[in-house]
C-alpha cells in the first residue's frame, strides 16, 4: 500500500484509544493491529523523524492530528488509572518524559470487558457515520448510559474494541435493568461515578500523599483505624467495613471483590491502607471508594484532592539531588555520626530535606531515637549478629513495628525498582488480588433503593 493513500479517520468525542485503532485498521483495509501499527509508523516517517521505540499511542495521536498529551487526556483511560499515584506524579498524563508509561500502560483498559450503549451506537451511526467505543462507558462500576438512561451491553472478547460496536450488537449481552436501578437509586454509586469521571478529566495525577492526608482528616474524626498493624483483624472501626456497608454488595463485587464478602473487622490493607500508606499500593478504585464514604459529595472530594495536590506541589523544597561526590561525603558523615541524620546534617551544613532525600534514596535511614532506645543496636543485632526480628528489637528496646519500618526504609532502592516493574508489568501491586466479578455473572437484585447509605452521610 502507498502511504500517500493512508486514510486517517477522525477521532470522535471520548472515543477510546483501541476503538480509534480499530477504526484506522478498518478504514485502511488491514486485518491485524501489527499491520496497522507498521503502516502508521511508515506514514508518520514520511512527515518527520520517528523514534524506533515509538509507542502505539504516540502514532495514534499523530494520525488523529493531535499532540500525544491531548490524545492521552481525551482518548485513554490513563488519567483515571494513574489519577492517584505516587509514581512520577508530577508528570502530565501523556508526557514523553516517561516512554515506559506511554508504551506499556497508556492503552490499557480500566476494567475487563467492552461495554456499549445500544442507543449511542444508533445515534453515532446517524451523526458520525460510524459507531465507536466510548471511554466513559469503560470505567469501573459504570453499567448504564447516563445520556440514554439504559443498561450497557457487555462484549467479552479480547479484540472487541477493534470492531465497531455495531458489529457486536447481535451477540452483546444486555446487563439488565437492575444495574440501572443501582446507578439511579444509589447516591453512593452516583458519587463514585462522578469522582471517576472527574479523575478522567485531570491533566496530571494527584499525589498519593496529598490524597492520603486529605482522607485522614474525616477518617480521624470518625475514629477509623489510621495505622498498619501485623494483625489481620481489629476492634476499631475500619474504612473497609464502612465501604462494604455503604455500597450494594453485588456492585462492589465487580470492583473490589475482597471487600464485598469480607467479615467485619478484617483489615484489607489494599483499602484500609489508603489512610496510612504513602506509596500507591492501591488502585484508583480504592481511593475513590474511600472518598465516597468520607466526603459529602464528589465535588468536595475532587476539590480537596486537587487543592492538597497543589499545596504540596507549591511547598518549597530545597534542591533534592546531591552530586555523587557529595553523596559519598554524606555517607561518611552518616557513618561518623552513627546513623544520625541530625549530626550528618549539622556536619554537612546542607538542608534537612537534602540529607533525608539523599541518604534515604540509597537505603540509609536515620537511626536516631529518643528515650534511651537504640535503633542502632537493634539493626546491629538483626543484620550483623543475624538474630531474629523479635530478639533484635528487644536488644535495642524498640518495637518490632519500628524495626520493620526501618527495614522498609533500608529497602528504598528495591522499592524504586519495584515501582518501575509495576509500570512495566501490569502494575501488579495496583490491581485487586482477586479478580473482580463480571456484572453478567453477579446476581443483581433490584434492591438498591432500600439499602442504607454511608454511615457518614446518615450521621
Select from 56, 117, 275, 369 the one that contacts Zn ion (CB under 5 A): 117
Segment interacting with Zn ion (CB under 5 A) among 5-13, 115-123, 173-181, 291-299: 115-123
Shortest CB 64 distance to Zn ion, Å: 23
Shortest CB 145 distance to Zn ion, Å: 3
Q: Give whichever of 147 and 408 is closer to Zn ion, judged by the CB atom.
A: 147
Shortest CB 285 distance to Zn ion, Å: 23
- Which residues does 321 contact at the CB level (< 8 Å), separation at least 6? 357, 358
Q: Give whichever of 14 and 213 is closer to Zn ion, judged by the CB atom.
A: 14
Segment interacting with Zn ion (CB under 5 A) among 4-12, 84-92, 109-117, 181-189: 109-117
Segment interacting with Zn ion (CB under 5 A) among 1-9, 67-75, 111-119, 286-294: 111-119
Q: Give whichever of 120 and 302 is closer to Zn ion, judged by the CB atom.
A: 120
Q: Give whichever of 117 and 288 is closer to Zn ion, judged by the CB atom.
A: 117
**What is the CB neighbour count within 10 angstroms for residue 223?**
9
Shortest CB 119 distance to Zn ion, Å: 5
Shortest CB 450 distance to Zn ion, Å: 27
Select from 21, 72, 78, 120 the one that contacts Zn ion (CB under 5 A): 120
**CA distance linking residue 68 with residue 61, whole number of Å:** 5
- Binding string, 436-455, against Zn ion, x = CB under 5 A? --------------------
Helix axes of 284-294 and 187-200: crossing angle, nearest 10 degrees: 130
Shortest CB 160 distance to Zn ion, Å: 17
DSSP character for 239?
H
- Which residues does 454 contact at the CB level (< 8 Å), separation at least 6? 188, 242, 245, 246, 292, 293
Shortest CB 126 distance to Zn ion, Å: 13
Q: Give whichever of 14 and 326 is closer to Zn ion, judged by the CB atom.
A: 14
Q: What are the DSSP E strand ranges found in 190-236? A: 206-207
Segment interacting with Zn ion (CB under 5 A) among 37-45, 118-126, 153-161, 447-455: 118-126
Select from 10, 53, 119, 201 the one that contacts Zn ion (CB under 5 A): 119
Shortest CB 129 distance to Zn ion, Å: 17
Supply 388's cell numbers.
531474629
Segment interacting with Zn ion (CB under 5 A) among 29-37, 139-147, 280-288, 367-375: 139-147
- CA nearest to 46, candidates 59, 29, 56: 59
**CA distance linking residue 192 with residue 295, whole number of Å:** 11
- CA nearest to 291, candidates 143, 454, 82: 454
Number of residues that bind Zn ion (CB under 5 A): 6
Q: Give whichever of 165 and 257 is closer to Zn ion, judged by the CB atom.
A: 165
Shortest CB 30 distance to Zn ion, Å: 29
**CA distance linking residue 201 with residue 384, whole number of Å:** 51
Q: Give whichever of 115 and 341 is closer to Zn ion, judged by the CB atom.
A: 115
3-state secondary structure of 435: coil
Please, what sign has the CA dihedral across residues 146, 158, 93, 87? Answer: positive
**CA distance linking residue 378 with residue 387, whole number of Å:** 9
- Binding string, 143-162, against Zn ion, x = CB under 5 A? --x-xx--------------
- CA nearest to 212, candidates 140, 304, 91, 90: 304
Beta-carbon-side half-sphere exposure of residue 22 (alpha carbons within 13 Å): 21
* 310 lines the binding site for Zn ion (CB under 5 A): no
- Which residues does 184 contact at the CB level (< 8 Å), separation at least 6? 144, 149, 190
The string of DSSP codes covering 157-198 is -TTGGGS-GGGGTTTPEE--HHHHHHHHH-HHHHHHHHHHHH
Question: How far from chain centre, in Å, is Cα 357?
Answer: 24
Q: Give whichever of 8 and 148 is closer to Zn ion, judged by the CB atom.
A: 148
Q: How many Å from the N-terminal Cα to the C-terminal Cα in the chain?
A: 66
Q: Give whichever of 89 and 135 is closer to Zn ion, judged by the CB atom.
A: 135
Shortest CB 267 distance to Zn ion, Å: 40
Q: Give whichever of 14 and 35 is closer to Zn ion, judged by the CB atom.
A: 14
**CA distance linking residue 43 with residue 87, whole number of Å:** 34
Residues in touch with Zn ion (CB under 5 A): 117, 119-120, 145, 147-148
Amino acid at each position: 500500500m502507498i502511504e500517500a493513500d493512508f486514510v486517517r479517520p477522525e477521532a470522535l468525542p471520548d472515543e477510546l484509544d483501541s476503538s480509534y485503532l480499530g477504526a484506522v485498521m478498518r478504514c485502511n483495509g488491514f486485518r491485524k493491529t501489527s499491520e496497522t501499527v507498521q503502516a502508521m509508523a511508515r506514514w508518520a516517517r514520511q512527515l518527520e523523524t520517528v523514534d524506533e521505540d515509538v509507542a502505539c499511542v504516540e502514532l495514534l495521536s499523530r494520525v488523529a492530528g493531535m499532540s500525544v498529551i491531548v490524545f492521552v487526556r481525551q482518548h485513554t483511560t490513563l488519567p483515571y488509572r494513574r489519577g492517584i499515584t505516587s509514581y512520577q506524579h508530577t508528570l502530565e498524563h501523556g508526557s514523553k518524559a516517561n516512554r515506559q508509561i506511554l508504551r506499556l500502560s497508556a492503552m490499557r483498559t480500566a476494567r475487563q470487558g467492552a461495554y456499549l450503549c445500544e442507543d449511542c451506537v444508533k445515534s453515532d451511526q446517524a451523526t458520525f457515520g460510524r459507531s465507536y467505543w466510548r471511554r466513559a462507558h469503560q470505567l469501573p462500576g459504570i453499567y448504564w448510559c447516563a445520556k440514554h438512561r439504559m443498561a450497557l451491553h457487555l462484549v467479552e472478547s479480547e479484540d472487541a474494541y477493534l470492531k465497531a460496536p455495531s458489529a457486536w450488537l447481535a451477540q452483546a449481552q444486555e446487563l439488565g435493568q437492575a444495574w440501572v436501578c443501582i446507578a439511579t437509586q444509589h447516591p453512593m454509586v452516583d458519587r463514585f461515578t462522578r469522582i471517576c469521571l472527574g479523575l478522567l478529566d485531570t491533566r496530571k495525577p494527584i499525589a498519593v500523599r496529598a490524597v492520603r492526608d486529605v482522607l485522614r482528616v474525616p477518617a480521624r474524626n470518625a475514629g477509623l483505624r489510621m495505622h498498619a498493624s501485623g494483625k489481620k483483624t481489629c476492634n476499631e472501626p475500619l474504612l473497609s467495613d464502612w465501604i462494604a456497608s455503604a455500597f450494594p454488595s453485588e456492585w462492589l463485587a465487580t470492583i473490589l471483590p475482597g471487600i464485598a464478602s469480607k467479615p467485619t473487622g478484617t483489615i484489607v490493607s489494599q483499602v484500609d491502607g489508603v489512610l496510612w500508606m504513602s506509596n500507591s499500593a492501591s488502585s484508583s478504585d480504592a481511593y475513590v471508594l474511600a472518598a465516597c464514604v468520607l466526603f459529602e459529595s464528589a465535588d468536595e472530594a475532587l476539590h480537596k484532592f486537587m487543592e492538597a495536590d497543589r499545596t504540596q506541589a507549591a511547598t518549597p523544597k530545597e534542591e533534592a539531588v546531591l552530586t555523587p561526590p557529595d553523596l559519598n561525603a554524606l555517607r561518611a558523615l552518616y557513618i561518623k555520626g552513627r546513623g544520625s541524620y541530625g549530626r550528618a546534617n549539622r556536619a554537612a551544613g546542607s538542608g534537612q530535606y537534602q540529607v533525608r532525600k539523599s541518604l534515604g534514596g540509597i537505603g540509609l535511614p536515620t537511626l536516631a531515637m529518643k528515650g534511651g532506645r537504640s535503633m542502632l543496636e537493634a539493626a546491629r543485632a538483626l543484620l550483623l549478629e543475624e538474630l531474629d526480628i523479635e530478639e533484635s528489637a528487644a536488644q535495642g528496646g524498640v518495637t518490632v513495628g519500628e524495626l520493620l519500618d526501618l527495614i522498609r526504609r533500608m529497602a528504598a532502592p528495591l522499592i524504586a525498582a519495584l515501582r518501575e516493574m509495576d509500570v512495566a508489568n501490569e502494575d501488579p501491586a495496583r490491581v485487586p488480588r482477586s479478580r473482580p466479578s463480571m456484572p453478567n455473572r453477579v446476581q443483581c437484585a433490584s434492591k438498591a433503593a432500600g439499602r442504607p447509605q454511608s454511615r457518614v452521610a446518615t450521621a
